[in-house]
Structure formats: structure tokens, C-alpha cells
Amino acid sequence: MRLPSSPVLKAGIQSFTFHDGGGPVLERIGVAAAPGTLTAVLGASGSGKTTLGRLLAGWLTPGAGGTLHGYLELDGIRLDFGSGRAEGDGTAHHRGEPRIDPAAWGRRVGFVPQDAAAALSTVRATVAEELAFGLENAGVPRTAMVAAVERTANLLGLTGLLDRHPARLSGGQLRRLAVGCAVISGPAVLVMDEPFASLDAAGARELAALVRHLVASGTAVVILSQVIDRLLLAADQWLVLDAGTVAAAGDPADLGPDTGLVPAGIRWVGEAARAAQPTALAIRQTATAARVASTGNTEVPATTDTAAASRDSGGAGAALELRDVSFSYSSDGSRTRYKGRLLARSRKAGAAPRQPLVLAGINLAVHPGEIVAVTGPNGAGKSTLLRHLNGLLRPATGSVLVDGSDIAGRAVGETAAGVGLLFQHPRDQLFERTLLREVRFGLDRMVGPAQAGERAAAALAAVGLEGAAHGHPAELSASGQRLLALATVLARKPSIIALDEPTVALDGDGLAVLDAAVRSAAAEGAAVVLVTHDLDYAQTAAHRLVAFDGGRLTDC
Amino acid sequence: MRVHPLTGLAAAGSTAVITTAAGSWPLSLAVVAGALAVSTVGGTARRLLPAAAAVLVPLSLSLLMVHGLAYPEGRAVLAEWGPARVTTEGLGFALQRGVQVWAAVLALLAFSFSVSVPDLVAALNAKGVRGRFAFVLASTLTLLPAIAAQAARIRTAQEARGLVIRRGLVHRAAAFRLQAVPLVLALVEDAGTRAAALEARGFSSSGPRTSYRTVPDSTAQRLLRAVLLLAAAAAVVLRLWAAAA
Amino acid sequence: MSSPSLTLPSPAPAAARRRRLLEILGALAIAGTYVYLVLNQPADITGGPGSASALIALSGFLVGAILLIVAVLPGLPASTVVLIPVALVLNIVLGQFVGSTLVPFYLDAIGTVLIAVLAGPAAGAATGALSSIVWSFFNPTVLPFAAGAALIGCLAGLAARYGLFRRFYLAPVAGFATGIIGGVVSAPVAAFVFGGTSGVATGAIVSAFRSMGDTLLAAITKQALISDPMDKAIVFTVVAILVYALPRRTWYHFPFVRRHHVLAGKAPGQAAGQDSTPAS
């Protein structure tokens, strides 16, 4: 039999091309995952790591999903694709070309996509049944199925949630359920795409412990990530991708930040940043300090003592002011009103408890030129707070003042001219055919056509997307879409910029661009509020930190 | 004893068919009353009545308008305004047809508002057509609220970008386009991910399947289902035979 | 190695033949029912409530629609099956909304036509039929229209197959033609099953034709010829706007779009010689 160290999954990819007429998205990549090891595939947004992960997991099948030249090998069975053949038109089916059976492949290789909700079947009414879906289709007897569900739920900490409707899970629980669906059949390999994105510290810790457990019990785990954290520092091997090909590979110890082998698009965070990159962090902190000093020189009040002063003076001259704002979702909950109502016809609908206050007497003043970070765990209501700034949500009591006037009773679309809000999911905010049209949207009416073109071009240049001005927004990488959404905000030159979780979906390069753009907007007099669960980032990016938990703000 | 979802479906379906075949208003009225009674006992009447009204009120008004005002075949004229003639035959036809449709609609709605969808899906769970039909049914019911919520999220995101929906058909149509594009794009993308996820979990596999959820069934219910289907078929055959004779 | 093969066998031609047979049977059931109803209608309506015709319309059209679903659904790739619920939601949400207003349109086929354009006539027909059946869960009156909805989906797919979505101005034309055929085929259902229409606005139009002495079927057919072509022209235009707003990468995930060059734009691969029509 096989030696324990010999790889269970191997791939040799000469090239992989989608059927969209574009060039190859992957070229010259070799990867092998051995049982009981952790492999990190690192790459910036758009580097091709998701495509690679889906190919490895059988989610993207050669032939139907694109044209592969190369081979995939699982359990010692090697499948060769497109060998020695002329380039087809993509639709022609090569005679004799193997067609992967996704179900058989899926039993051996599990995959957890970045958007965990999209991996669910949508046809199972409880977490337990969702977990069992794959086993049902494989014809596993019911007793074995019940045992497997129990075991998997135990492993993932889902035992208490087995009877809950999947639509009612939180983000972290949903991610764990998606992992459970992938591992319940006991796969030899588990591929996870950005598993830590948008998880808070507690959620990330639990998931990291789960990964270590799976590796220790003999699973070959492959993690695709644009962020290097403590878990990935301890990986057995790294494969660094850049523009669809291997930039570096090998032992993490040989690929430290001082070697320069890891592209700048890949971020080092948390302990990874402190352990592996003390110099870089120090540079960032000095840079922040220098910037604070320089903004101080240009008479923009941004230092801690002005912040303290603003608290004392009750926010006179503030661009944005929240006065004693309280808010709660009503008991039939606009937040939960739609979720699973048709399937989970609850008989005790009227007995829902009174919702606690999400915001309980919030006071906050942000001055022109100031960058304030609001930090707190997932689910604390940070996004709810942000939605009060432009009137998407209205306070139950208290008032929100923009440039000194109350926004109560003003349409959101009108407030938006002064308050630019950047959402967590940029694709909700984008709707035009080209980047340029996207950024110009609504500008014509605001400043006239001539200036609109100028401003749109400038805003695109500010986020480094001027080269793609005539492309389709949806064809950008996730990071690029986020930056485009930022450009649409910047082009309006709002007096207040509000950012929801800026580190999510942005790679290192993107975050640097965002930082620079936000700072220059602040230097020109915009007040910036950003909410994030990423304390490290908040410390480097903001002039002032405010902690948000239990509906209240406390200064850090 | 719990009613198996397929027994409920057979009962509602055959009731609708038999009522249509019989075409007699006393029977139709009895079915209307029976369906309302079943849903009241089952505690679903509060949700059923608005849904039924949304369907039946416009339909009944339309029937009254069509046959009440214009029934050229009618002889007994009750009133006449210009081209409009109210006839006994027309009103009778409208009422007769209306009650018949009411009976079929209420019988079917009484089923769909009382059935447990997960049980129905589990009862249909199999490979091939039945499994895929169950998937389409259950997935639609799950996605309906989720997509409505997603559309609302997109609208708020766009309002935050300065979109102000003004009155007037043209503005509304333009706003519809702006909101539909990201919605459809996201839905198509998510569907691609879901397709891959389902395939990897054996959605299309051809082997036998098992079910985690158990739906109690009994010989008596199986027998009842067979009887109900036979009765419906018999009613159709009898009616067609009578019409031909 | 105890695990089964990792690859799929080649598809069996026998299953494809059986499905083709079912498709033809379904189409015949629908066509036969329509012809029978049109030939036999005059005697029925004056002879009192014609529940025999209602039964024939119901069973013939429903059996045809179900045969089509049985023929098409198992053969569709998962990527299309997963899109069908999405299409049904679009149909239901927009149809429910428009149906409740005083506009003589329905706009209840946007999802169906979208699937037909992306995945072809067979998928379109199955989506149309499934849409009626699933929707009947909340509104049983749409159930008898399953055959008409399947026909709309099939015709939209054929329009896409033969390039009518390649030019933007051809889409409403194709929709208009589809609406004529769909309206004429659905009219007997409205006439014999319901004895009228399900909306007040459409009812007023039928009433006007009836007062001029038309038979019920003729009046409803004429009403359908007023409403349906416009309705479908709007639906096809909306779908054309939507698909052209999507990025090319999204279309080209669908083999039907690639193979038949359904939408205008650079063909992928360029080397393809079998595309019947070059890009604009």
C-alpha cells in the first residue's frame, strides 16, 4: 500500500482556460497534497487560486468548465486532459477525454467555497438534514447516516443547532456547516477557499482548531488565502500564486517576508505580522505617526487631543454627529422577516421576545479630516450603526446630524450626496456595463457632464483602475470590485466616508490603495468612519479607535 | 395518525377533479365549506384566506363582468344598458363556474397551506424526475424569501449611492433595470456555485437513495391514495362518457 | 482501491431516445387537445356549464406539460436545474405583482425566457411548465396554463437558438410572435376551465367582445391577441436588457449560448468554424 507521506492528490497543470475566449487563467502549476499535511495556496485577489481550488476539488470539471492541459491524480489514479491535442474551440468534446464524476470525486475531496451560503442545497429544512444530503444521495443506510451526522456535528460544534433551519444560522455557523457538508463523507482531502474571511477572532480560533484536528487525523487540508495568519505560518508547504502561475513554493520558513518571494498583494496579519514581519509593521506604524503629524501641520484636527476636545465640546463643527441614538429591530424584525418564513411556519410566531437594543444611546462626533475606527465582534451591530449615517435606518430615539443638520426626513438618495457608504458586498452596489459608466452614475446631475467625466477618471485613477475603465465591473476580481465601489464614493467627494469592513475581500495591494485613497480624502477634509472586526488594521488605519459592543461605544 | 403528504395531495387533487367533473353547484358549495372547515381545524385559515382572496376575488369579478354584462346566448333579460345585457343565464353561468373554481382552488390551497414542505420533499426524494421536481419545489420556496431580502439589500445599497426613485413609469422602469441587473447577476453566479456543490454531493448520481427524514406512512394510507386516484379517474371517465352519449 | 471509478461513462443513447419520444408525446398531447377543443367548442358553451370540455382541457394540457417535464428534467445538467428555482422566483414575484394591478399584462415569464435564452428550448419548456405547477402551490388557477407556459419557454429558446437575440431590436419582434402563438393556445383553458379570465382588466376586454356577439372562446382568443403579444414583447425586451447587462463570462458558462452563438459579441475561441452566423 501507499506510504503515508505519498500524496493523495496531485495536479500538474500546463494551462487552464475558461470557455470565455480569454487567455489561460492558470499556467505551469504543480501541486501535491499528502495525508496529514496542511498546504497553503497563497495569492492576491485574481491570482487564480479559487480556480485552482475548484479544479482540485472537482467543482470545475475539465471539458464542461474549461479546457485543461495537464493531469489530475487522486488516490493514485491519474487522469490526463488535453494531452498532445490542438487547441479546440472549447465546446468540442475530445474523444476519449475523461469526464470527472463530480460525486465520486467529491466523496474523496471536499471543498468549502468562500460564500458558504451558496454551497447549501436550499432544499433541506434542518442543519441535520443538510449535513445528511450527500449521504442520502449516496444511498447510505439511515442508521449510519444518523451516526455520521452526530459525529460531524460534534466535530464542528453544531450539535445544539441540528434542528435549526440553515437560513437562520450566523455567518460563522454557516461556514462551519459548509465544512461539515464537505467532511461528512470522510474525504481524504479538504480544500477551503478563504475560510477566515469575515470571521471575527473567536470564529477564526474555532475554525483554526478544527483545521488542526483534521490535519492531525490524517486529512490533507489545502487552504486558499490572500492573508497569511498564524495557522498558515505553521503549514507544511506554501504555494504562492501570482497572475495564474507559481511565484514561489516550498517550506514557509524559506519564504519569509525578507526574502521578497511573497508578492505584496498577500497580507500578513495578526501574529504572522508580528512574528514574521516586525520591521514591516514598525514601518507602517511610523508611517501612521508621520501622517498624523503631517495632517496636524495642515491644520486638520486629527490628533488624539482634538478627539478628546470634540468629546468635551459635544461635537461643535463636526462633519458627522450622532446624538443619543438608540435603535432596535422590531419584534417581527425587518432583519429576520424574510428568512425561511415559508418553510419554517412557526406556530409561535406571536411569542417572539422583545428585541434588545442594537444601539443604546450612541454619541459620536467625527470632525473633518478625522479617521475613526469602530471595532467590535461580528453580530454586535456595527453595520446597523453604519446604516444610520445616511438614513438607511432611522433611529428610534436621538438624531443624526450631517454637516450640522438633521437628516431625519431626507431621502437616502439625497443624503448620499454628502455621505458615501461603502458596503461589505460591493456587487450589490454595482450595476453598470462599464467601470467608467459606473463611476459616472449620478455625477452628471450633480456637477454637469464636463466635470463628471473629469471626476470619474480621477476617481478611477485614485484606486488604480484607470486601465480597465471600459471593462465590465463583474469581471473584476473581488478586490477590484471593492475598489471600484470605493471610486464611486470618492467621485462624489462626500464630506463623510463610511466603510463597512474594509479588510474583507481586499488583498494587500487593494488595502494599500484603499488606505492611500481614504487618507487623501481625509486630508482634503472628509470625515471617515470605518467599522471593522480587525483590531490590527483599525490601529494602523485610524486616528481614533472606538470599541462597540452591547449597543454602546467606549473609547479605546 | 399523521397524514402522509402524498395522501393529502391525493385527497386535494381528486377532490378538485371530481368537483370539476360533477359540475354541480351543491357539491361545489359543499367542497368549499369542507375545505374551509379543514383549514380552520388545522389552524391554517388565517394564512389561507388572504391567499385565496387574492386569487378568487379578481377572478370572480372578472366572471361576473364577462357573463353578467354580456351573454349573447342568454334569453331572460333582466336589465339592459346599451350593449350590456344582464341575463339570468349569464349570471347563472358565472355563479356556477365561479363556485366550481372556488371549490377546486380552496381544496388545493387547503392542502398546500397545511402540508409540511420538508415532509413532502422527503416523500418525493428519489432520483430522476421526482427528486428533481422536489428540488425545484423546495428550492423555490426557500429562495422566494431569500431573493426578496436580497432585492431589498440591493435597493438600499443603491440608495446609498444616490439613487432616488422618482414617480413615473419611465423612472420606475429605469430603477427596475438598475436593481434587476445586480440581482440577476448575483443569482446566476450563486446558482453556478450551488450547482457545483450539489454535483459534488451526488445530486445527479444514478444509484439508489435513502432519506434522513422519516415520513410515517401506512398500508391504510397507501390504500386510500389508490382509492382516491381511482375515484378521480372514474369521475372523469363517467363525465366524458355522459357527454359523448 | 475500493472507491468506485472517478470518471463518468459515456451517455447511453437509449435513454436519449426514450426522452425524445416522451417530448414528442407531450407536444402531441398539447396539440391534440387544442385541436379537439377548437373543433368542438360551439356546442358546449350554450349547453350549460361544459365541464366535459373543462376536463379535456385540463387533462390534455396537464398531461402534455407533465410529459414534457418527465422528458426534459432528468437530462438537464445540474447547472440548469439549479437555475430553474431562481427563474420561478422571478416569474412569481413579478407575475404576482403585475397580476394584482389593473394592467392587462402578466409579465410572469421573465424567468422562463431568461432560462430559455441561456439554456435552450428544452430547458425553457420545462421551466415554463414547472413554473405553473410550483406556482399553483399558492395560486391553483395557473395550473391549467402549464402547457401554454411550456410553449412560451420552448419558443423563446428557439428564438435564441436561431439568433433573434443577437440583434436587440429583434427580441421584441420574437416576443410578439411568441405571444400570438402562446395566447391562442392558452385561450381554450381560460374559456373552458374558468369560463373567463383571472384579472379584471382582461375581463373587461372579453366582456366587450362578448357584447358584440362573439363566442366565449373567440372573445377570449381576441383578448389574448391584444394582451399576450405586447406582454411577451415586453418580457423578451426585458430579458434582452438583462442578458446584455451581464458580463460575457457569465453567458459563456452556458454551453447553449456558446454552441449556437446566441448573443452578439466575439465568439469564444474564434477558431470555431461550425458557428452558422458570424458575429456582428
Determine, for residues A136 and B203 on separate chains, whether the beta-carbon distance falls below 8 Å: no
Q: What is the distance between the alpha carbons of residues A207 and B60, in angstroms, rounded to a whole number?
A: 58
Among all residues of chain C, which has the CA nearest to that of A17? C269
Question: Considering chain A, what is the average pLDDT of its residues?
Answer: 82
pLDDT of A308 reads: 41
Interface test with B, best of A431, A433, A476, A500 (most B CBs within 10 A): A431
Closest CB to A474 among B125, B145, B185: B185
Query: pLDDT band for position A96 (50/70/90)?
Result: low
B47 chain-A contacts, CB cut-off 8 A: 345
Query: pLDDT band for position A273 (50/70/90)?
Result: low
Find the Cα–Cα–Cα–Cα dihedral C196, C199, C204, C210, rounded to 10°. -10
Question: Considering chain B, what is the average pLDDT of its residues?
Answer: 86
The values of phi and psi at residue A546, to 5°, are: -130, 130
A345 chain-B contacts, CB cut-off 8 A: 47
Q: What is the distance between the alpha carbons of residues A185 and A190, in angstroms, rounded to a whole number?
A: 11
For strands A496-500 and A419-422, give the pairing. Answer: parallel
Whether the predicted pLDDT of A91 surpasses 50: no
CA distance B222 to chain C (A): 23
pLDDT of A313 reads: 44
CA distance C188 to chain A (A): 33
| Sequence-ordered list of residues with C-beta below 8 angstroms from that of A449, at least 6 positions apart, any chain | none
Of the candidate ranges B11-15, B147-151, C152-156, the one whose mean pLDDT is the lowest: B147-151
Q: What is the distance between the alpha carbons of residues C71 and C65, in angstroms, rounded to a whole number?
A: 10
Q: Any CB–CB contact under 8 A between C134 and chain A?
A: no
Q: Any CB–CB contact under 8 A between B206 and chain A?
A: no
Amino acid letter, residue A394: R
Mean of pLDDT values over A334-339 = 38
B121 chain-A contacts, CB cut-off 8 A: 123
Determine, for residues C7 and A76 on separate chains, whether the beta-carbon distance falls below 8 Å: no
Closest CB to B201 among A134, A427, A441: A134
Positive/negative CA dihedral, C244, C247, C248, C251: negative
Residues of chain C predicted below pLDDT 70? 1-4, 11, 41-51, 95-104, 266-280
Residues A16 and A478 sit within 8 Å (Cβ to Cβ): no
Whether the predicted pLDDT of A278 surpasses 50: no
A536 versus A113: the higher-pLDDT residue is A113
Amino acid letter, residue B17: V
In DSSP terms, A239 is beta-bridged to A41, A249
Determine, for residues A128 and B198 on separate chains, whether the beta-carbon distance falls below 8 Å: no
Among all residues of chain C, which has the CA nearest to that of B243? C52
Highest averaged pLDDT of the listed ranges A101-105, A279-283, B69-73, B145-149: A101-105
Determine, for residues C7 and A474 on separate chains, whether the beta-carbon distance falls below 8 Å: no
CA distance B60 to chain A (A): 27
Whether the predicted pLDDT of A256 surpasses 90: no
Query: pLDDT band for position A200 (50/70/90)?
Result: confident
Neighbours of B146 (CB within 10 A): 18
Q: Any CB–CB contact under 8 A between A76 and chain C?
A: yes
pLDDT of A274 reads: 63
Instruction: Return the closest-CA partner of residue A57 out of A110, A95, A126.
Output: A110
Residues A556 and A545 sit within 8 Å (Cβ to Cβ): yes
Mean of pLDDT values over B126-139 = 85
What is the side-by-side strand order in the sheet with A359-366? A359-366, A320-327, A397-402, A405-406
Determine, for residues C89 and B144 on separate chains, whether the beta-carbon distance falls below 8 Å: yes
Question: In angstroms, how far is CA A30 from the centroid of its own chain?
Answer: 27
- The tens digit of pLDDT for each residue in A284-328 reads 444 444 444 444 333 334 444 444 444 444 456 788 888 888 888
| Sequence-ordered list of residues with C-beta below 8 angstroms from that of B53, at least 6 positions apart, any chain | none
A425 chain-B contacts, CB cut-off 8 A: 153, 157
- The tens digit of pLDDT for each residue in B183-237 reads 888 898 889 899 999 999 999 888 888 889 988 889 999 999 999 999 999 998 8
Instruction: Tally C-beta pairs within 8 A across B and C.
Output: 199
Of the candidate ranges A49-58, A332-341, C193-202, the one whose mean pLDDT is the lowest: A332-341
Interface test with C, best of A1, A10, A19 (most C CBs within 10 A): A19
Report CA Rg, chain B: 24
User: Under DSSP, is residue A219 helix (H, G, I), strand (E, B) or coil?
Assistant: coil
Determine, for residues A474 and C272 on separate chains, whether the beta-carbon distance falls below 8 Å: no
Closest CB to C3 among A75, A79, A122: A75
Determine, for residues B160 and A129 on separate chains, whether the beta-carbon distance falls below 8 Å: no
pLDDT of C3 reads: 45
pLDDT of A219 reads: 95
Amino acid letter, residue B201: R
Find the Cα–Cα–Cα–Cα dihedral A306, A310, A311, A315, rounded to 10°. -170
B-contacting chains (≥3 CB pairs under 8 Å):
A, C
CA distance A330 to chain C (A): 25
Query: pLDDT band for position B239 (50/70/90)?
Result: confident
ipTM of the complex: 0.89
- The tens digit of pLDDT for each residue in C67-84 reads 999 999 988 999 999 999
Q: What is the distance between the alpha carbons of residues C257 and C245, in angstroms, rounded to a whole number?
A: 15
Q: Any CB–CB contact under 8 A between A525 and chain C?
A: no
pLDDT of B223 reads: 95
CA distance A513 to chain C (A): 25
Whether the predicted pLDDT of A213 surpasses 90: yes
